[in-house]
């Protein structure tokens, strides 16, 4: 009798494992991990800003307003209290995205100003920082794409069968996730230096 019960439980456990009961928490963790990469790349960009500002400052002191806008935008980004649960809070995610967009815009303006200073454009430190910034922007785009894809997999899982069933029974505390929305100026995109 006990053997039959164990056998029955084993069959039930295997059937449950095979029908997607673990897909929801697996996809939830993938969303959190991919969001961590988005934050990581934004932090990398924020870490580059002070070096970039200091390099430009020596050449373009009278461009103080532009430099201050970059520093202020970076400060707003750095002051945000980012918790791992930000992916569950649409308003916090939108606020985070607005602050990141402001930093992107300020950096774009700064790099346009740089065009007026040929000596600065030839400065090896500036060229290196500019290349790192361009690479970081590409990494941000890739991290955001990966995040959007993981949110899509997660949201699809909890909205389709059998995930919808498992979500309602076992994982109802896990919400539908928000993804990034394009900024109003996304069609034009930032312009960095000469590229």
DSSP class per residue in the chain: -HHHHHHHHHHHHHHHHHTTTTHHHHHHHHHHHHHHHHHHHHHHHHHHHHHHHHHHHHH-GGGHHHHHHHHHHHHHHHH----GGGGG-HHHHHHHHHHHHHHHHHHHHHHHHHTT-HHHHH-HHHHHHHHHHHHHHHHHHHHHHHHHHHHHHHHHHHHSTTHHHHHHHT-TTSPPPP-----TTTTT----TT-
Can you tell me which residue has the tokens 């790099």? 111
- Res 184: pLDDT: 64
Tokens describing residue 63: 């461009």
Quote the CA–CA distance of 83 and 99 in Å, as a whole number. 16
pLDDT per residue over 100-159, tens digit each? 999 999 998 888 888 888 888 788 888 899 999 999 999 999 999 999 999 999 999 999
Rounded mean pLDDT, 44-49: 94
Could you tell me which residue, 103 or 17, shows the higher pLDDT?
Answer: 103
Q: Is pTM beyond 0.85 here?
A: no
- Res 194: pLDDT: 43
What percent of the chain has a predicted confidence (pLDDT) above 90? 47
State which of 23-32, 50-59, 68-77 shows the largest mean pLDDT. Answer: 23-32
Could you tell me which residue, 170 or 60, shows the higher pLDDT?
Answer: 170
């Amino acid at each position: 009798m006990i053997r039959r019960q164990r056998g029955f439980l084993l069959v039930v456990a295997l059937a449950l494992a095979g029908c997607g009961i673990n897909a929801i928490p697996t996809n939830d963790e993938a969303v959190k991990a991919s969001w961590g990469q988005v934050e990581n790349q934004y932090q990398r960009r924020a870490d580059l800003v002070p070096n970039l500002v200091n390099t430009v400052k020596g050449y373009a002191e009278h461009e103080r307003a532009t430099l201050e806008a970059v520093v202020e935008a970076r400060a707003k980004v750095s002051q945000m209290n980012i918790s791992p649960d930000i992916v569950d809070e649409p308003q916090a995610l939108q606020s985070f995205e607005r602050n990141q967009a402001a930093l992107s815009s300020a950096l774009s303006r700064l790099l346009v100003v740089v065009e007026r200073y040929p000596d600065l454009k030839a400065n090896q430190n500036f060229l290196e920082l500019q290349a790192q910034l361009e690479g970081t922007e590409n990494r941000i785009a890739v991290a955001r794409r990966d995040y959007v894809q993981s949110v899509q997999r997660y949201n699809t899982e909890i909205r389709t069968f059998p995930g919808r069933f498992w979500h309602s029974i076992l994982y109802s505390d896990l919400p539908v996730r928000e993804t990034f929305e394009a900024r109003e100026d996304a069609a034009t995109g930032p312009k960095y230096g000469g590229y």
